[in-house]
Amino acid sequence: MNGCFVELAIDIVGGKWKGIILYHLLDGPKRFNQLRRLIPTVTQRMLTLQLRELEEDGVISRIQYPEIPPHVEYQYTEFGKTLQPIIQHMQEWGKLYTEEYFADNQS
């Protein structure tokens, strides 16, 4: 593997929706429609594409239960769980940035 590993990591979790999807999976498995409700501005097509890419990259898994109607959930893989602290830190940093940025702009 040549190049920067940060570039690789950003390629895997980057994009407008992947980080948000991973954030919402922090507290456990979610069904597709749950994710749609949690991220109302994402289109069905884009959510499907982003979930597939995360699955192909081994970050999340798609679990299909043998039920009728079909019941599918998305969750972190064991390897994907190594991203959880990073996603949590990004959320904390975003909160801190918002507090600092808006505090500076309100003065």
What does the pLDDT look like over 41-64, one tens digit per residue?
A: 999 999 999 999 999 999 999 999
Write out the two tokens for 39.
Answer: 């991220």
- Rounded CA-CA distance 98/78 in Å is 31
**Is the pLDDT confidence value at 6 over 70?**
yes
Q: Going from the N-terminus, what domains does the chain have, and what CATH number goes with each?
A: 5-106 (1.10.10.10)
- Cβ partners under 8 Å of residue 24, min gap 6: 30, 35, 38, 39
- The whole-model pTM stands at 0.88
* The predicted structure's pLDDT at residue 70: 85
Tens digit of each residue's pLDDT (9 = 90 or more) over 58-105: 999 999 998 888 899 999 999 999 999 999 999 999 999 999 888 766
* The predicted structure's pLDDT at residue 23: 98
70 φ, ψ (degrees, to nearest 5): -55, 140
* The predicted structure's pLDDT at residue 27: 96
* The predicted structure's pLDDT at residue 104: 65
Nearest alpha-carbon partner for 88 in 22, 18, 9, 15: 22
**Is the pLDDT confidence value at 11 over 70?**
yes
Mean pLDDT of the chain: 92
